[in-house]
Structure 1
Amino acid sequence: MTPTGAPPVQLAILLASDSPETFDCPPERVKREGNDLEVAIRKFRMSAYLWQAFTAEQMLRNKLGRRVFRFDEEWTSGSASSQDREQGTMRSEARIHIIRSDKTTAEIRDLNIAQQHGPATDKGALYDITTRAVFSVEVGSVAVRAISGVAVVEIRVEGEEICRAWIEYPLDSNGAQRQVSIYESDVRLRLPESHRQKKLQISVKSIGGGSVDIDNFEQMCSKSAFFKLDTGKMASRSQYLGRFDEKQIQDVVFTSSVKPDRIMSKMIVHSGLAVDGLEFVYDDSSSQLFGQKGGTPNVFEFDVRRGEYISGFLVRSGAYIDAVQIMTSLGRKSGLYGNAHGGSAHCVIPPRGYTIRGVSGSSASWLDSFSVIISK
C-alpha cells in the first residue's frame, strides 16, 4: 500500500562536468578540515538537520504541533560528530545524492545567469540546469522496484567477486522501501578511490529473498540506454532477459503510446515450446509484430471500455524466452504461454510513475531476449 504521508526530502549536491570535487575555502580552514567532496557532504548533511530542527521549532511555536519533514536515510558511517568519524560508528543518516551535471564550471558560474547579479540577463537559468540534472530519468540512475521491499544493493567491480561496498535500505515508519533510484555517481563514491574508474556491477537484494544482478551498471544508466519517443518523451529499456545480442536488437514502441487516438485491443502470443513472437493489435485492426509468427496464437483481449492496458509481464527465460504471461492495469493475468516449466521466472513491472511504452529484444527461431520500454 502506498504511504499516505509526504515522501521524504531528497538531498543532492550538483557537480559541474569538470568539477575537481572541491569547494572554495580559506587556506587556513583547508589545512584544518579539508575542502573535498566528503567534507561538503558532512557540512550539507548538518545544514539539513539544522533546517529540520528550525522547522520543527517554528511549527511548535505556532501551535501546529511537533511536525516536520523527514529525510531519505541510509545506513552509513556517522558524520554528525567527530567521534563517530574517528571510531567508524555506523548510523542511519540523511542520504546525500551526488549528481554530475553536463554543464561545466564556467557555464554554471556565468555572470549572465547569476541570480544576485543585477545586470544578469537570464537569472532563472540555474533552475533549468538543476531541473535537467536532478529530475532526469534520462541519465545517471537506475530505478529499482521490489514488491517485498529493497533490502541492500551490493557493489562490485569487474573481475572481482568481493563486495567492496553496499547501500542498505533500513525499514522506517512506513515499512520497506519498494522503489529506489541508484545513482552511478553515488555508487562510485562508495568504492575505494583506486576502484572508482572500473566497470561497475551491482546486485539488488529484496527483503523477500529475490535478487537482480546488473553486470554493466554504467552502460545501463548511460545516455546510450535512453532514446526519445515520437511524442518527445525520453524512454529507457529495462534489463534484458534471455541471451542479449546488441547487434540484433529490435524496438517496438506501441502505436497507442505515440498516437492518442489508437487503443490496444488485444495481444497475441505466438508460442510452442518457446515464445516465437508477440503481436499487438489495435482498435483499427492494425498490428505490430515483435519477433515472428509460429506455434499456437494465444489471444488475450483487453477491456477497452474500462481503459485496461499492459502493466507488466511474468517472463520465464534462460538462454531464450520460454514463456510469457501478461499482467494488466485491472489486476487481470493471462495464461502462461509457452513452456511454463522452462528457464527461471522474472516479474517485469515498471517502477511507480512509469508506464510500459513498448518492448525490445532480439529473435531468431524464437525470442532470444526480452525487455520493456518505459517512460513517465
Structure 2
Amino acid sequence: MMFDKFHHQSGSNPTSPPSGYSNQDSLSSTSSSSSFAPRVFNVNNNDIVHARLVILDGTAGPQQGGANSSVVVYHHVNSFPSQRFQVTDGYFKAFVHLNPGVNNLRIVWSNGDDDEQSPSSQLTLNYVPLLQNPPLHYALIVAKDSPFLFDSPTYKKEQEGGNGLDLAIKKVRLASYMMAAYTGEQMRRAGFGHRTFRPHEEYDKDTLSDRDRSLRSTTKVHVIQSNLTVDEIRDPNRAQQNSQGTDRGALFGIALDAIRNSGNDLFADKGENVMVAAIILDGHWDVQRKLIVGHAALGGSSGHIRLGIFGSHALWSFPTSIEQITPCYLDETRVDTNQIAKDCSGEGTAWEVYNVGFGAWLHEIGHLLGCPHQPYGIMLRDWYINRSFMSREGYASGPKTNGKRPIRAKDESVWHPLDLLRFRFHPAFRSPFENRVEGSKIGFFPLENGVLVRTMTGIYLVEIYVDDKLQGWLKFLSPQQETFLFEDDLLGQVQDLGARDPNKKLTINVLGLGESQETVQDFRELARSDQIHDTFFRNRGVVTGFRSLPIGSASGQLQTAIFPPDIRGVNVRCGAWIDAIEFIPCNDNGDPANGPQRPRVGGTGGGANQFLFQEGEYLVGFFIRAGAWLDAVQIITNIRRSPIYGNSQGGGPFELYPPPGYELVGIKAHVESWLKSFSVVYISKD
C-alpha cells in the first residue's frame, strides 16, 4: 500500500478545522508574583510528558510594546544550554529540552536587562521515555557512489560550513524532535493527553544545541546505502514530479530495498511493524530540466515496513540546532532557482521552503502511521508548521503579505481529528499503562436491515465515504468489540444532503485496535448480498440465511456446507494449513473414512482431527487464524473449545459466531488445494 502526496482527497464535510479547534487551558502552569512573568498555558506544573523536547505556549511581558523582548529558558541544573525565544505582543513559543525524570525549569522574561532581576516563573515537568513503544526510525538513503552532499545555496553553505553528511544528520535529528513535539501538542489539544511517537535514539554526542556536545540519548539517523548509483537514483523517469516519467513510483521501492538489504537487525521482521522516515540524500535540482530528480513524496507500507520518503532538496533550509530555529523561520532570503528548487509556487523565500519541505515530509510520515488524505490539515497541504514554534512569521511571498503576529493556537496547522484518533490507538502512541494489542481481523455479518461489525480487540472508528469522498464518521473512544451499522445511522452522520442520495456508492472503512482495518466498498450491496434461501434442516420451511463476509482470500471454488442441528462433532483436516472441515452427522460412526459423505468444504489432504461432542454439547462458532488462506481453526461449543488445528501462529486471529438472536447452520469457504477463505452461515432463531 502506498500513498502519493500529489493525489489529495477533497471533502465537503468539513473543509477546514472547526472553530475553537484549540483546546488551550486558561490556567497558568507557572507561578510568579509579577504580571510580566512568563505564564505557560499548554502544560501544567508537574505534568508527566513522554517526549524529550516539548513546545511551551504562553504569555510574557506587556501585551503591547516590548518589541525586542524574549523569554529565556534555563534547564534543569544547567544540564542543557539556556535557550532564548522571541516574544511578540506578549505571546511566545518555546522549544524545551528535558532530561529523563524531574525537570525544574526557570523561564525568564528578558527585555535586555539582567535576567537575574527580570520577572521569572518556575515550571516542573517530568519526562518519562516510553522505550517499550515501537520507535520511528529516521534515515538518509544514499547511492553506492554518493558524494554525501545535498543541494544548498551559496549563502547557506557559507553560514553552515558546507552541505555534507554530518550537517544533514544534524538537520534530520532536530526535525525528528520537532515533529514529535508538534504531534504531541496536537494530541494534547484533542484531549488525548501527552502522547506522541518517539524517535529511535542512541547514546552519542548530541547536536541539538550549538553550544553543547554532551553525550546523551539522541536520535540515531541511519545512513543506508542503496545498490544503485547516483545517476540511477537521479534518472528523470524516476522523478515523481516528471509528468513524462515512466517509473515515477520507483524511488519508494528503491528506498525499501535499501532498508531491507541493509543488514541492520533493527529493520528485521520480528512480528511488529518497523517504521522508517527517510530522506533520499542524493536528490537534486536539475536546473536544465527544471526538475527535482532523486525525489518522491510517498508514504505507505510493504510487509512489516512502514515507510515515508522525501527528497533532500529542501534540507538546506532546515535548522541544525534549537538556536537556529528562529533564524530559519524568519529567513526571508529569496529562492534562487539557478541553485536550488522551489517545490511549489508558495516557496519564494527560505522560510517557506522550510515550511513546505518539513510539512510535506511529515505528511508522508502521516501515511506510514496509517493516515489517508484528509479534507484539511497536514494530510492535505496545511503546512504552516512554523506557527507551532514561533510567535510571529516572516514575509509571505505567495500572498505578498507580512506574516501573522502574534501567532495563536487557532492560526496553526493541524492534524485532522481522524488522524489524531488513529494516533490515539496506534502502538507507537501507547501510554505507560496500556498494553500492546495484537491486531484482530474485522468481521462483517449482514442482517435483514444492516450489518454487525465485530472484532476481538475493539473498534474505534468507522469512516463513511460517499462516492469515495469522506463525508462523516462514527468514533468510539471506548473501543467496541461489536457494533450494529444501519444505513440510516450512517447517512445521519453525512452533513451534505446531496451525498445521502441512495444511488451513490456508500463505503465504510472500519478501524480496530492493533492497526487492524477493513474496507467495505459497497455497504448497501453487502447488506443485501449473500442471502441463502433454504430449509437448513430446521423443519421451518424455507427461511433466509446470511453469510458473513469471507475472512482470507476470495479465490478458488466457493463451497458451502449446511449441517443439521444434531451433529455429533467436527473433523478438521490439516497440516500446515486447513485442508477441509467436515461435520459429523448423528448417525455417523465416527470413522474418518466417512468424510466424503459428510457436509464439508475442502479436499482430502492433511490429517484427520475429529472433535466429538459430549451429551448436550453443540457447535456455536469458530476461532480462526487467517491471512492469505486459512491457517488454523478451533471449534467453539456451548461448553468448551477444541485444540487449535493447523498453524496456530499463522495469520491474524478472529472468532466467527452468529450475531445475537441467530444460530449457526453452516459454513462457506473458497477452496483451492486448501481453504483460502472462511465464513459462517446463520439464520434467525425465530
Shorter-chain TM-score range: 0.5 to 0.7
Q: 1:147 to 1:339 in 2, by over 3 A?
A: closer
1:253-277 CA-to-partner distances (Å, cap 9, x unmatched) read 1122xxxxxx111111001121111
Among 299, 317, 327, the alignment partner of 2:610 is 299
Q: Specify the alignment match of 2:666 in structure 1.
A: 358
The structure with the largest alpha-carbon Rg is: 2
Among 546, 552, 559, the alignment partner of 1:242 is 552
Q: 2:447 aligned with 1:141, yes or no?
A: no
Match of 1:356, SS state, is strand
Q: 2:471 aligned with 1:164, yes or no?
A: yes
| Distance in 1 of aligned mates of 2:562 and 2:671 | 16
Q: 2:647 aligned with 1:343, yes or no?
A: no
Among 464, 488, 492, the alignment partner of 1:185 is 488
| Distance in 2 of aligned mates of 1:193 and 1:219 | 21
Alpha-carbon deviation of 1:302? Answer: 1.2
Q: Specify the alignment match of 1:67 in structure 2.
A: none
Match of 2:587, SS state, is coil
| Distance in 1 of aligned mates of 2:672 and 2:666 | 20
Q: Specify the alignment match of 1:200 in structure 2.
A: 506
Q: Specify the alignment match of 1:369 in structure 2.
A: 677
Among 205, 215, 218, the alignment partner of 2:524 is 218
| Distance in 2 of aligned mates of 1:251 and 1:341 | 26
| Distance in 2 of aligned mates of 1:364 and 1:146 | 27
Q: 1:274 to 1:179 in 2, by over 3 A?
A: closer
Q: Specify the alignment match of 2:462 in structure 1.
A: 153
Alpha-carbon deviation of 1:324? Answer: 1.0
| Distance in 1 of aligned mates of 2:651 and 2:456 | 22
Q: 1:321 to 1:157 in 2, by over 3 A?
A: farther
| Contact persistence 2:619–2:637 (CA under 8 A) | yes
Counterpart residue identity of residue 238, structure 1:
S
Q: 1:312 to 1:208 in 2, by over 3 A?
A: farther
Counterpart residue identity of residue 323, structure 1:
A
| Contact persistence 1:138–1:234 (CA under 8 A) | no
Match of 1:342, SS state, is coil
| Contact persistence 2:456–2:655 (CA under 8 A) | no
| Distance in 2 of aligned mates of 1:323 and 1:178 | 22
CA RMSD of aligned residues (A): 2.7
Q: Specify the alignment match of 1:133 in structure 2.
A: none
| Distance in 2 of aligned mates of 1:144 and 1:211 | 12
Counterpart residue identity of residue 473, structure 2:
W
| Contact persistence 1:143–1:180 (CA under 8 A) | yes
Q: 1:215 to 1:328 in 2, by over 3 A?
A: farther
1:1-376 to structure 2, matched below 5 A, reads: 139-146=448-455, 150-157=459-466, 159=468, 163-168=470-475, 179-191=482-494, 192-196=496-500, 197-205=503-511, 211-222=517-528, 224-230=529-535, 231=540, 232-245=542-555, 248-256=557-565, 263-285=566-588, 287-303=598-614, 305=615, 307-330=616-639, 332-376=640-684
| Contact persistence 2:568–2:585 (CA under 8 A) | yes
Counterpart residue identity of residue 572, structure 2:
V
Any gaps of 5 or more consecutive residues in structure 2? 1-445, 589-596
Match of 1:352, SS state, is coil
| Distance in 2 of aligned mates of 1:370 and 1:180 | 21
Q: 1:325 to 1:363 in 2, by over 3 A?
A: same
Match of 1:164, SS state, is strand
Counterpart residue identity of residue 452, structure 2:
A
| Contact persistence 2:557–2:672 (CA under 8 A) | no
Q: 1:349 to 1:213 in 2, by over 3 A?
A: farther
Counterpart residue identity of residue 302, structure 1:
F
| Contact persistence 1:264–1:283 (CA under 8 A) | yes
Alpha-carbon deviation of 1:141? Answer: 0.6
1:148-167 CA-to-partner distances (Å, cap 9, x unmatched) read 6654422224645xx43112
| Contact persistence 2:534–2:544 (CA under 8 A) | yes
| Distance in 1 of aligned mates of 2:631 and 2:513 | 27
| Distance in 2 of aligned mates of 1:164 and 1:300 | 48
Alpha-carbon deviation of 1:183? Answer: 1.2
| Contact persistence 1:140–1:185 (CA under 8 A) | no
Alpha-carbon deviation of 1:209? Answer: 7.4
| Contact persistence 2:559–2:669 (CA under 8 A) | yes
Match of 2:610, SS state, is strand
| Contact persistence 1:268–1:280 (CA under 8 A) | yes
Alpha-carbon deviation of 1:371? Answer: 0.3
Alpha-carbon deviation of 1:337? Answer: 1.1
Alpha-carbon deviation of 1:248? Answer: 3.0
| Distance in 2 of aligned mates of 1:352 and 1:266 | 23
Percent identity of paired positions between Structure 1 and Structure 2 = 32
1:105-126 CA-to-partner distances (Å, cap 9, x unmatched) read xxxxxxxxxxxxxxxxxxxxxx
Alpha-carbon deviation of 1:143? Answer: 1.9
| Contact persistence 2:509–2:517 (CA under 8 A) | yes
| Distance in 2 of aligned mates of 1:318 and 1:291 | 17
Any gaps of 5 or more consecutive residues in structure 1? 1-136, 257-262
Q: Specify the alignment match of 2:291 in structure 1.
A: none
| Contact persistence 1:138–1:226 (CA under 8 A) | no
| Distance in 1 of aligned mates of 2:617 and 2:610 | 15
Q: 1:147 to 1:272 in 2, by over 3 A?
A: closer
Counterpart residue identity of residue 270, structure 1:
R
| Contact persistence 1:141–1:181 (CA under 8 A) | yes
| Distance in 2 of aligned mates of 1:356 and 1:205 | 26
Match of 1:220, SS state, is helix
1:325-350 CA-to-partner distances (Å, cap 9, x unmatched) read 111111x1112211222221122122
| Contact persistence 1:138–1:235 (CA under 8 A) | no
| Contact persistence 1:244–1:368 (CA under 8 A) | yes
Alpha-carbon deviation of 1:240? Answer: 0.4
Match of 2:671, SS state, is coil
Counterpart residue identity of residue 557, structure 2:
Q
TM-score (norm 2): 0.30
Alpha-carbon deviation of 1:359? Answer: 0.1
Match of 2:661, SS state, is coil
Aligned pairs, how many?
A: 223
Alpha-carbon deviation of 1:289? Answer: 1.7
Q: 1:283 to 1:295 in 2, by over 3 A?
A: same
Counterpart residue identity of residue 324, structure 1:
V
Alpha-carbon deviation of 1:145? Answer: 3.9
| Distance in 2 of aligned mates of 1:147 and 1:362 | 23
1:11-60 CA-to-partner distances (Å, cap 9, x unmatched) read xxxxxxxxxxxxxxxxxxxxxxxxxxxxxxxxxxxxxxxxxxxxxxxxxx
Alpha-carbon deviation of 1:318? Answer: 1.5
| Distance in 1 of aligned mates of 2:557 and 2:492 | 35
Greater relative CO, 1 or 2 (CA 8 Å, sep 6+): 1
